[in-house]
Structure 1
Amino acid sequence: MTEVQQLAAFVHGARYVQISAQAVEQIKIRILDTLGVAIGALDAPPLRAIRKLTESLGGNSASTLIGGGSSAPDRAAFYNIGLSRYLDFMDSYLAPGETCHPSDNIGAVLAAGESVNASGKDLLTAVAVAYQVHTRLSDVAPVRAKGFDHTVQGAYAVAAAVAKVMKLDAAKTANAIAISGTANNALRVTRTGNLSNWKGLAYPQVGKEGTHAALLASVGISGPEQVFEGNKGLKETITGPFDIDWSREDLESVLRTIIKKHNAEIHSQSSIDAAIEITAQPGFRADAIRAVHIITFQVAYDIIGGGEEGDKRHIRSKEEADHSLPYMVAVALLDGEVQPAQYAAERIVGADVQALLQKTTVTPDAAFSARFPKEMPSKVEVELNDGKIFSATAAAYKGFTSQPLDWASACEKFDRLVTPFAGAELADKIARTVHGLDTHSVRDLTALLAKVPSQRHISAAA
């Protein structure tokens, strides 16, 4: 068999009963978390524009749009993943040379699963497949250093997961994966320099195309059977050689992923924790800061600290702010939190945060870098105008692999994001349905998601 056929055999053979109880619980937590951050973005201007476009394009109404309405599965996948990606509050996976967000696949699996009336167990199994494929390719085939985006590995994961939930046979699954992997090799420029809306839409595009690839395969369209190892295939053109024995893989990779505590790029989480700890120290005054210095690991410095992906102190948009370590630490020191409110346009351009981020410097530390990705060590030092020094360090948090999030804590984050839109009763129904997916159909869940208002309720927000 070719390598894509071996991968397809793994996908086709995956069964719900192979997933441990712990992993099933964490998959449900990831689904709840993903839906929460998606609903929390319903009133974001870019998503409103995409929704209007999606409605104008039409579709076969096989799949629900979160917040009401419907479209074809691939278009619903784009919109729903766009929602879950916009706040940059989703889960993450840290490999030594790559960072990805496996929950980006959930919107596509949900849309495809609804279109074929899949069961909740089918959904959970397909999500487990997505996590396994996405994380394992990130482990052995990183692409960021080659100038390609981390969505490259996702093209294989999302097609595999959609093919799984659609119950395609092994041959059609291989074709779906091959089509999607061949066609979706995105450039890393998406996340360098001045960031655009596309930062949050690059994976929705891959999710849409991966879903479409599975639909094409379902009607007999074939793809390059040597997409990995062939002449001008992935290995030769981008990644170099790598090996995965898919016959030995399990469905447990979700346990190696982490959920964000703060609404911020994943590598910033420990720095924000340290900054918030400083705000509680006796004598600290946010209005008297002379300088802020962040010491962190190399990957954080390169991606969000002003290293290889460009300066991070000239911030004017939400997309730039949530990928700027200086901004996120500065606003944490001023506001004591980093949540969606910290990315409101008026907050980003506020004189206090703009002045403070210009006083902020970031330095990579070799010892910290050696501890990554098992930890995300960071130290924040703040000097006041009178010379007083405040400092704090952090390396992990609740939601990190060493401290997995439990259902109650996941519901706290979900409720905070969802209740202003859906109200407490509907939010609770959605959460209970996710937790009981083993006994529900996908359509039971999407019927509830269709009832969520696309506008925030002023009374709930208050």
Structure 2
Amino acid sequence: MKQYKIQIQKPGQQILKEEQLAYRIAKMASQDWVLTNEITEMVGNRIIDNAGVAIAAINRDPVRIARAQAMQFKNNNGATIFGLNDNKKYDCQWAAWANSVAVRELDFHDNIMAKETCHPGDSIPTILAVAQQNNCNGEDLVKAIATSYETQLRLSVSIALNPNKIDHIGHLGPAVTSAIGKLLKLDTETIYQAIQWSAHTSIFTRQGRKGQLSSWKAYAPGLVGKNAIDAIDKAIRGDTSPSPVWEGDYGIIKILLKKDNKDIYINLPEDNEPRNGILGTFTKEHSAGYHGNSLIDLAFKIRSKIEDTKKIKKINIYSKKYTHIVMGSGSNDKEKYSPKATRETLDHSAMYIFAVALEDGSWHHEKSYCEERKNREETIKLWNKIETFESDEWNKKYYEEPNPLKKVQGGKVEIFMNNGKKIVDQIDFANAHPNGKTPFKRPEYITKMINLFEDMVQNEEKENFLNLIENLEKLDQTQIKQLNISCNEGKINLDKNKIKGVF
């Protein structure tokens, strides 16, 4: 691993191409390296994870809409779409779109927690779609996915987006692009041009995650995935891009990312060094914003000490700044306390999440957010008794820890009862975290997937899929085209296909 300082261009100054961030990432992506069993296994885990959450979301509105759009672009040599039969193929750009929306919709897959937080598994649908259409093999696929995780992790450790109200997919676009470059074995110059184009078209504000939310965040990874494919295709054909996209005096960092980005350094692997970044990431056990996963587990832990939640007077939750201002009362977002709020708002409401988990002692990706559940009178009363606070202690345990796996994600809760009793407990990590009580390994990923499949997928289909994952690195191009999950006949809702759109 080698460290580089990211220079910010002054007016009239020139930064050598070889010293630009986009070129350094492109060079890393174009180099070959030897796979390790640990990386291959973790890539397989995340493909399993994505399959489960995608099928669980298969008939939700954003997924149905994206699938209906994608199905207008048939291509016999293309890529598969989640839920549909493997013999049906579509243009990789549109298959990537549909599958990315399915994976992202429930906010139920993996995470990076660093200077920036994000979901690196968002990259997999796009990379797999391109691999299927371009006849790539298992080793190509695994190395490409690992490259995307590496790029996104390194950018997330170095460059903060959220404090500047820029959405985290700003790092996803360049990561996916670097991966496609690796997948197709492109040269450094071509990948460099494509990364700059992708970075330029992956910047969005965080208004999509505040106030009255739509389904935008479900669509966002698919949008930058499509952009990444487009960027690579144009670069292969000889197109160039805005340069230097990050460091320029009108560039992304100088104009948009002024806060918390002084003296930026980035570490990147060199030559044949394994791309281990994926090992610094982790998945969710519960369908909620990651900062809420530890709060759900904390609620499960503390609820045995409470005889009757109706006798609670007040609940204070202490955690890091991010939890307080993004998911907590520090957001000053009234919708986070409203039963009229959308699921997209409530899965990022620490107050709602803690109240429901405390009452139920369980969490479900649909039932915990349904109309009946969020409108219970006793839940609304409890929910509005909860307040979050930024804590210096928890800030220190998160922000001053450089290792993403050691950043403490949890918090402390104080529950005040009507009789004057005070109950206090805390948790550092969600249970499924690598440092948690029950860290996820391959069996836990499989169990999560099977539970999410419910009655949507036949056992034979599930077993065939898992057999492919077990031999992931050795798959040939035909088997890569089979790396998909088809749902039982009649289980896919295609009503959105009946609507005549633009396509």
Matched, 1:73 2:92: yes
| TM-score in terms of structure 2 length | 0.84
- What residue in structure 1 maps to residue 291 of structure 2? 267
Which of 61, 65, 77 pairs up with 1:45? Answer: 61
- Displacement of 1:24: 2.3
**Of residues 335, 348, 359 in structure 2, which corresponds to 1:323?**
348
Could you say if the C-alpha distance between residues 452 and 218 of structure 1 is closer, same or farther in structure 2, counting changes exceeding 3 Å? farther
Task: Give the alignment of 1:109-258 within 5 angstroms.
Answer: 109-239=127-257, 242-244=264-266, 246=268, 248=270, 250-258=274-282
- The 1:218–1:363 alpha-carbon spacing in structure 2 relative to 1, beyond 3 Å, is same
Secondary structure at the residue paired with 1:244? strand
**Residues 215-251 of structure 1: CA distance to partner in whole angstroms, max 9, x if unpaired?**
2223332223422333422332233553335453751
Give the C-alpha shift of residue 262 in structure 1.
Answer: 1.5
Deviation per CA, 1:233-274: give whole Å up to 9, x if none: 233223355333545375111111121122111111221111
Read off the aligned partner of 2:313 and give its amino acid letter: R
SS of equivalent to 1:420: coil
Q: Which one of 73, 89, 103 corresponds to residue 121 of structure 2?
A: 103
Query: Is the 1:176–1:210 Cα contact (8 Å) retained in structure 2?
Result: yes
Is 1:63 the counterpart of 2:87? The answer is no
Shift of 1:140: 0.9
Distance in structure 2 (CA, Å) of the matches to 1:443 and 1:368 = 49
Aligned partner of 2:148: which letter?
A
In the alignment, the residues of structure 1 paired with residue 490 and residue 380 of structure 2 have an alpha-carbon distance, to the nearest angstrom, of 30
Which of 32, 37, 48 is equivalent to 1:14? 32
Which of 247-256 and 38-47 deviates more?
A: 247-256
Q: Which moved more, 1:245-254 or 1:200-209?
A: 245-254
Distance 1:147 1:11 in 2: 28
For the residues of structure 2 that align with 1:247 and 1:392, how far apart are their CA atoms? Answer: 40
Counterpart-to-counterpart distance in 1, 2:268 and 2:422: 52
Unaligned runs of 5+ in 1: 458-462
CA contact (8 A) 1:286 1:334 kept: yes
Residue deviations 1:341-382 (CA, integer Å, cap 9, x gap)? 212233233333323211211112110111116211312233
Taking only aligned residues, the RMSD between alpha carbons, in angstroms, comes to: 2.3
Deviation of 1:291 after TM superposition, in Å, equals 2.8
Q: Is the 8 A contact 2:111 2:281 kept in 1?
A: yes
Match in the other structure for 2:15 = none
Which deviates more from structure 2 when the two are superposed, residues 334-343 or residues 420-429?
420-429
How far did residue 431 of structure 1 move?
2.2
CA contact (8 A) 2:330 2:389 kept: no
> Structure 1 counterpart of 2:465, which letter?
I
Number of residue pairs matched?
453
- 1:330–1:125 distance in 2 versus 1, CA, 3 Å: same
Is residue 2:104 matched to residue 1:85? yes
From the two aligned structures, give the one with the greater helix fraction.
Answer: 1
**Structure 1 CA distance, aligned partners of 2:486 and 2:380?**
39
Q: Is the 8 A contact 2:137 2:475 kept in 1?
A: yes
1:94 aligns with 2:117: no
CA contact (8 A) 1:380 1:393 kept: yes
Percent of aligned positions with the same letter in both sequences? 27
Q: Judge conservation of contact 1:264–1:338 (CA < 8 Å) in 2.
A: no
CA distance in 2, matches of 1:160, 1:339: 35
Measure, in 2, the Cα distance between the counterparts of 1:60 and 1:306: 51
Change (3 A) 1:428 1:284: farther
| 8 Å Cα contact 1:14/1:129 also seen in 2 | no
Deviates most, 251-260 or 197-206: 197-206
Q: Is the 8 A contact 1:178 1:225 kept in 2?
A: yes
CA drift of 1:320 comes to: 0.8
Q: Distance in 2 between matches of 1:2 and 1:73?
A: 33
1:410-429 → structure 2 map (5 Å cutoff): 410-429=445-464
Confirm or deny: 8 A CA contact 1:5 1:225 kept in the other structure: no
Contact 1:130 1:161 in 2 (8 A): yes
State the Cα distance separating 1:58 from its structure 2 match: 5.2
Hey, what's the Cα distance between the residues in 1 that align with 2:228 and 2:135? 19
One-letter identity of the residue aligned with 1:444: Q
TM-score (norm 1): 0.91
Residue 310 (structure 1) aligned with residue 329 (structure 2):
no
Q: Which amino acid aligns with 2:329?
A: G
Match of 1:407 in 2: 442
- Aligned 8 A contact 1:118 1:442 in 2: yes
